[in-house]
Amino acid sequence: MKKALLLILVSCFFGQLKAQTTTQKFSGMYLGVSFERFAERIESESDYSFFYKKEDVENLQVNLQANNSDIVMILNQVFAATGLTYSIDSSNRIWISKGDKIQVEFPKDYFIVQDRQDNLANAGDSLSAFDKNKRFTIGKSSDNPQSKTAVLSGVVTSIESGKPMNGAIVLEKVDYNQIATDQNGKYQLTLPKGRHTIWVQNIGGFQEQRQIDLKGDGVFNMSIEETILSLDEVVVSSGALSNVNKLDMGVQSITIAEVKRLPAVLGEVDVLKGILIMPGVNTVGEATAGFNVRGGAADQNLILYGNSTIFNPTHAFGFFSAFNADIVSGVELYKGSIPVNYGGRLSSVLQVDPKFGRSEKIGGSGGIGILTSRLSLDGPIGDKTNFIVGGRTTYSDWALNLLDDEADLNDSKITFYDINANIQHTINEKNSLELTAYLSQDDFRFDPDTTYSYQNMNVALGWKHFFNDELEGKFTVGSDNYEFGIIGIENPLNSFKFSFDVHQLFLRSDFEYRKNENHILTFGLHGIQYSLNPGLNQPYGAESIVIEKELDNESAREVSIYFGDEYTISENLSVSYGGRYMLYQLLGPMSVNQYVDGAPITESNLIGVENFDKGSTVKTYHGPEFRVSARYTLDNKSSIKGGFNTMRQNIHLLSNTSSISPTDSWKLSDTYIRPQTGGQASLGYYRNLAKNRLEFSTEVYYRYMANLLDYRSGANIILNENIEQDVLNSDGKAYGVEVLLKKSTGVLQGSLAYTYSRSLMKTSDDPSVEKINNGDFYSSSYDQPHHLVLTANYELSKRVNTSLGVNYSTGRPITLPISKFDYAGSERVYFSERNAYRIPDYFRVDFSVNIEGSHKIKKLAHSSWSLGVYNLLGRSNPYSVYYTPVEGQLRGYQLSIFAQPIPFITYNFRF
Amino acid sequence: MNRIVSLAAMIILLISGCREPYNPEIEPADLSVLVVEGYLDTEGLPSKLKLSYTRNIQTENSFTPSYPDAIVSIRSEAGVDYPLTSLGDGEFEFAYDIPEEENYRLYISTTDGKSYTSELIKPILTPDIIDVGFVKNELGAEVFLTTKGDENADDFLWTYEETYAFRPKIPSSYKFDPETMDVVIRNPDERTDLCYRGGVSSDLILETSSKFENQFVFRQAITQILQDDEKLSVRYSILISQKALDKKASEFWEIMRKNSNDLGSIFSPLPSNIGGNIKNDQDPDAPVVGFVSLGTIKQRRLFINVREVIPWRAVEPAYYSCFVEPDTIMRADYAQSFASENFVPVVPIFPDGAISPIGYQGTPRRCSDCTLRGTNVKPDFWED
């Protein structure tokens, strides 16, 4: 950390030295020019800059001829008998004033004092105090003198750790230019040349300021204090604060600090549940981690941990997310304009950013909750490498044991764990490596006969290389794996073991090229090699007579290239445009059923089987994706944005249930199941209110989708060799409006999000045996028109923070039994048209309190308590309704998952 | 996969979930859909076809159903017509030995002017049941069946009908005779200490034989009798029917099974609209429920005696808190206590050396009279 400070200091001294030793000479004729023109010419020929009041020099004309003259000689002549005086400071700034000279020299002992302070152990405060009062000159005015603006860039590091700060906001408060630093603490701002006060604020940290004089493009590195000293925690969400200025639309960010304050089920901090407070994000119920973005299915969300695709981001059947909040630095959800470097899913991209280790000391954090405990450790390995490793495990068995007598849960068992390990290594200034690894495993059984398990395993290695100031490249290679299995041993003769797995190897290269301040070009290549085992059923144990059944393995490759440009046309208008081109090939060996052309795909229309050899191409799909968005700034406080994008998706989740279940399997596009395609157009208005304390935004969107999957009545999904006979090619459309009001400052913070949205499907016009609801549009299972989320945080004191969450949404659609009849000796039900009815509306209030321990720096561990109540009102929100015969009479029941207030408490610590 | 249902139910219990009655407001949809049920025997055994209508879901059990009047016949592709005989209440009898290699259609014309035609039906001869039996397991006793598929019969449907003998908690062979005002021994036709009850199960068991080696379906579980269930407290009988189905019929039954069993839990599949192989001629899009098959039904009956499964004690909620009242009802009080028939004599009390009892200890009738829950007439098929 001292290095960075030293660097700043050294550069200051160096600048000074240079100013004192070089004396620039000027030659030329200045006849009858205004002082302003004169000053501009001098500024353009040298690194001198003038500072004056316009009215002081209004009537001043310059008439002189210089011949290798010193600036002092020239200025003396210019100001002779004008009543104006001037002074030149060490940075070659010329200060013009009426009457008295401006004092520009530092006291002689000024820097000596600074040197002495630098030797102190804790130099941070005084140094930053010094930084605050100093005006830094950035760049040379001789660079690119025509331009009125210049690019200010640099790295923000922590004073305490010296680590780059991710997500710190660098802000200029006059025109409200701002940017959040990236993972490496880097920022870049384009500002008008001249003096500025730059504010910098870490998430939850103090705001600090720096005075700069921006003369040309230049680097300005800053060290600021980290959270730990700050009692006044102010959470700044990078996405939201700059909503008005950002070019992206439909992007929602949430910090882990925000997630941690949300009341959680059983106190488990859950990043996936955190995104449900955002407008446009719905869920069909509490027992699923699947979420629906803008009327899309749950499998249309690309969930990335770093660059790794997570196929099942849940634990315990979807009750908890499989991300350890201590290993995550932030979450961003792209639902509107999806950046051109992402692709492969129709609805959204959920980017979960991994956390990397500290570089100054080894420390850790952890928590003890009702159901799980977690622990993580991070720190440096040598100078250039840091690591973080974390794990989480459950001990929920005790809860099951408590229920044993009543619920007959003998031998039931739920175990899960997840492990993360991330390593970051800086090779040199231009090269760095990042390794992220993730493993999550679930095993559960509720009777001794059947055991379920599933596992995610991901590893990715990235190499970041700065070719030069303008071009930056990142190369990533990785492997993503997901598998699940069921072992049934009820009867030794019929014992079986079922397994499914999907594996993908990926390679991607992403480049960012900044030609000048108006263009940021991104381009790259993304390749995925899929290999998928759709299902294998084996006999289990020596006595079993189950015949082994295995579906053909599927393998495919997907290659995408992309190019995008973020183009600042004028101060007010920016556009981002680009495209991807995706090539997808399903590869052999494989046998493909052949059906009568133009007839429905049914067993009776099966006319043969075509066999493909290993490596041969079974089916190729390719097509472009377009991404266009534009922002027009109306004034400092408001802007409008519009966008249009198209997407393609080659991997589908086969799910016949209303929510995602862990036994849902993935399927690659094949001859009959075509890639899902879709497009979205959106328009938004953004406005900051009440001196930027309130932020308002609204977006409308319309989406269309093709080749969605719905299922025939009674479709069988598991181990179905002819799955194409059971799926129905469907079209979809979705539209809606989202409104968000957010307050991110002050003692009371929070947000209010309202969404009106519809999501409809219809069986496509292709020939098919069954048209759901006669081929008309019907509500999809996640069509919930009204959705309102209120979250409010109130800071009672620096250590006690209370949080309230209110959640309302229309009940999801359901197919209800509407009549009954007798058949096969029992009363049976006859169902309505698909999704013709809705379950009752959902309404829930949660409350939590977070209590921080003392904020002394020197103590063993910093601890905090989280306690609260989930579903405070104890409302039994139905998750589902169903009918079942009870003593011959059909009765309707509604099923709630959290039907009473659920209190929770968690202890967290950090060292 | 059925396990997922119970699994989800467990997890809900775990996280303090809750199940409450639900009575939604349903649009008064005038749904009177024709329902056709029948698996007609092609070898001449009389078999029934049933016609009925769907009724509103909230209809109580006590309602009087209305049945369609119709003319029903089976016609072969060659044009031979086999009319069915109406038995009333929507039931029709089919009793023809018809050639199995032909294809047939079912024709229904109802008196309201509508007519219905089935898709082509190919008779399937059901293979014999090889074995039925039971095995004791930790849950109680499981009844199983073994059979073998062939090239025509791959998918199977099993349904079953249970009958069992049982005794009341407090058996008694006495009754109060209002004529003599005395307690007498019951006649054999009046006995209340051994009865029979049972019925057709709503369970539908489906399996595909080609999933197994040589299409040999070995010890397919039919039903599980839970330990200490009253069904096995004396003697139990199960009649299992085996029907071979074609692919489409098996899909229909699978939907019916799923719609009956798998609904409502968290991970259960979406409910499916059920159809069948019958269409309305006037409006092909109009719903008709039912899948009519032709073929043979194979049946096997199994008896299990309580001695084969001991230890087994009957635990029947209907007889909770049943015991013999300790007070002796003296002869003078017989009429007062026993005449209402809500209280029955059980234990005669003899003083030392006496030949006739001075009185009886009694118990409430519900604890002693098995005819309240069954019949004391032994079924024809019953073998002791």
Give residue-wise pLDDT tens across range A85-94.
888 887 788 8
pLDDT at B27: 63
pLDDT at position A876 is 80
What is the enclosing helix (H) or strand (E) of A466?
strand A450-466
- Look at residue B7 in the predicted model and tell me its pLDDT: 44
pLDDT digits 0-9 by tens, A209-222: 788 888 888 888 88
**Residue A35 in contact with residue A42, Cβ under 8 Å?**
no
User: Which DSSP helix (H) or strand (E) runs through A576?
Assistant: strand A573-587
Contact call for B10 and A409, based on CB within 8 A: yes
Q: Concatenate the DSSP letters of all residues of B72-134 into one string.
A: EEEEETT--EEEPEEEETTEEEE--B--TTS-EEEEEEETTS-EEEEPPB--BPPPPEEEEEE
- What residues form DSSP beta bridges with A638? A635, A687
With respect to residue B254, please indicate whether it lies within any of the assigned structural domains.
Answer: yes
What DSSP line would sit under B332-345, residue for residue?
GGHHHHHTTSSEEE
Instruction: List the beta bridge partners of residue A882.
Output: A893
In the block, tokens 């209303």 appear at A658
| B132 belongs to a structural domain | no
3-class secondary structure, A612: strand
Assess whether pLDDT exceeds 50 at residue A79: yes
Q: Which two tokens stand for residue A11?
A: 């550069």
pLDDT of residue A398: 61
Instruction: Find out whether the peptide bond into A813 is cis, omega within 30 degrees of 0.
Output: no
Q: pLDDT value at position B37?
A: 92
Does the beta-carbon distance from A828 to B216 stay under 8 Å? no
Specify the range with the lowest mean pLDDT, choosing from A436-440, A513-517, A581-585: A513-517
Q: Using CA of residue A704, residue A706, residue A712, residue A718, what is the dihedral sign? A: negative
* pLDDT higher than 50, residue A890: yes
Distance from CA of A868 to the nearest CA of B (A): 16
Percentage of chain A modeled with pLDDT above 70: 85
Residue A509's pLDDT band (cuts 50, 70, 90): very high
| Residue A659 clears pLDDT 70, i.e. is over it | no
Measured between alpha carbons, how far is A601 from A857 in angstroms, rounded to an integer? 69
Residues of A in contact with B61 (CB under 8 A): 888-889
Q: Using 50, 70 and 90 to split pLDDT, how confident is the model at A652?
A: very high
A114-131: average pLDDT: 41
Q: Which two tokens stand for residue A720?
A: 């179905």
Phi-psi region of A316 (alpha: psi -120 to 50; beta: other; left: phi over 0): left
What is the Cα–Cα distance from A238 to A252, expressed in whole angstroms?
A: 9
Q: What is the pLDDT of residue A555?
A: 92
Non-local CB neighbours of B140 within 8 Å, separated by 6+ positions: B224, B225, B226, B227, B228, B229, B232, B309
In this structure, how many other beta carbons lie within 10 angstroms of the beta carbon of residue A470? 12
Contact call for A547 and B274, based on CB within 8 A: no
- Could you tell me if residue B261 is inside a domain? yes
Q: What is the pLDDT of residue B244?
A: 93
Q: Is the per-residue pLDDT at A672 higher than 70?
A: yes
E strand or H helix at A556:
strand A554-568
ipTM > 0.90, yes or no: no
- Helix A110-118 to helix A2-21 angle (10° resolution) is 160
Q: What pLDDT was estimated at residue A265?
A: 66
For chain A, positions 191-210, list CB contacts with chain B under 8 A. none
- Residue B274 has a pLDDT of 79
- A-interface mutation test, from B2, B5, B6, B20, most A Cβ less than 10 A away: B20
d(CA A659, CA A269): 21
Q: Which range marks the domain in which residue B108 is found?
A: 34-126+245-297
Q: What is the pLDDT of residues A598-651, one digit of tens each?
A: 777 877 678 889 999 988 999 999 999 999 999 898 887 888 999 999 999 999
> What average pLDDT is seen over chain A?
80
Is B195 a member of any domain?
no
CB-based contact A356:A386 (threshold 8 Å): yes
Task: For residue B290, tell me if it sits in a domain.
Answer: yes
Nearest of A167, A297, A150, A161 to residue A234 by alpha carbon? A167
pLDDT single digits (tens) A826-884: 778 788 888 888 888 889 898 888 888 766 656 667 788 888 888 888 888 877 776 66
- Helix H, strand E, coil C: the string for A352-380 is EEECCCCCCCCEEEEEECCCEEEEEEEEE
- What percent of the residues of chain A are helix, what percent strand, and what percent coil, each to the nearest 5? 15, 55, 35
Q: How far apart are CA A675 and CA A662, in angstroms?
A: 23
Distance from CA of A880 to the nearest CA of B (A): 6
High-pLDDT (> 90) share of chain A, %: 24
With a CB cutoff of 8 Å and minimum separation 6, the contacts of A703 are: A294, A295, A296, A678, A679, A680, A681, A732, A733, A734, A735
**Residues in chain B where the model's pLDDT stays below 50:** 1-16, 264-267
Regarding beta strands B292-295 and B34-41, do their DSSP bridges make them parallel or antiparallel, or are they unpaired? parallel
User: Left, alpha or beta for B319 (phi > 0: left; psi -120 to 50: alpha)?
Assistant: alpha
Whether residues A891 and B21 touch (CB distance < 8 A) is answered with yes
Ranges A21-35, A325-339, A860-874, A882-896, most confident: A325-339
In a domain, B235, yes or no: no
CA pair distance B354, A712, nearest whole angstrom: 79
- Show the beta-strand stretches assigned E in A90-228: 93-98, 135-138, 149-158, 169-172, 177-180, 186-192, 194-201, 207-214, 218-219, 222-224
A112, pLDDT greater than 70: no
In a domain, B119, yes or no: yes
Chain A, 450 to 509: residues with Cβ < 8 Å from chain B are 450, 452, 488, 491, 493
In angstroms, the CA A203 to CA A207 distance is: 9
Find, among A869, A860, A726, A744, the residue nearest to A257 by Cα: A744
Q: Which helix or strand (DSSP H or E) is residue A801 part of? A: strand A800-809
10 Å Cβ neighbour count for A841? 14
Cis peptide before A145 (omega within 30 of 0): no
Q: Is pLDDT of A583 > 80?
A: yes
Q: Is residue B353 part of a domain?
A: no
Q: Which of A659, A828, A870 to mutate to test the interface with B (most CBs of B within 10 A)?
A: A828
- Structural domains counted in chain B: 1
User: Of A444, A819, A880, which has the smallest distance from its Cβ to B57's Cβ?
Assistant: A819
What does DSSP say about strands B47-53 and B34-41: parallel, antiparallel, or unpaired? Answer: antiparallel
Q: Which helix (H) or strand (E) segment is B363 a member of?
A: strand B359-364
Alpha carbon distance A212, A235 (integer Å):
26
Chain A CB contacts of B259 under 8 Å are 828-829, 831
What's the rounded Cα separation, in Å, for the pair A269 and A266? Answer: 9
Please state the φ and ψ torsions of residue B229, each to the nearest 5 degrees: -70, 140
pLDDT-derived band at A887, boundaries 50, 70, 90:
low
CA–CA gap between residue A218 and residue A139 (Å, rounded):
4
For residues A317 and B32, what is the distance between their CA atoms, to the nearest angstrom? 40
What is residue B72's predicted lDDT score, i.e. its pLDDT? 94
**For residue A542, what is the enclosing H or E element?**
none
Structure tokens at A426: 């800086």
Nearest residue to A208 via CA among A175, A159, A146, A245 = A159
Distance CA A100, CA A259 (A): 57
Choice among A52-66, A253-267, A552-566, A838-852 with the minimum mean pLDDT:
A253-267
Task: State the residue for tokens 């089976």.
Answer: B74
Among A366, A179, A393, which residue's Cα sits nearest to residue A906?
Answer: A366
Distance from CA of B200 to the nearest CA of A (A): 6
Tell me which of A201 and A706 has the higher pLDDT: A706
In terms of Cβ atoms closer than 10 Å to its own Cβ (0-12, 13-18, 19+), residue B353 is exposed
Helices (H) and strands (E) in chain A, counts: 9, 57
Decide if A620 contacts A584 (C-beta within 8 A): yes
- Phi/psi at B330 (5° precision): -75, 160
**Residue of B5, B11, B35 to mutate for A, most A C-beta atoms under 10 A:** B11
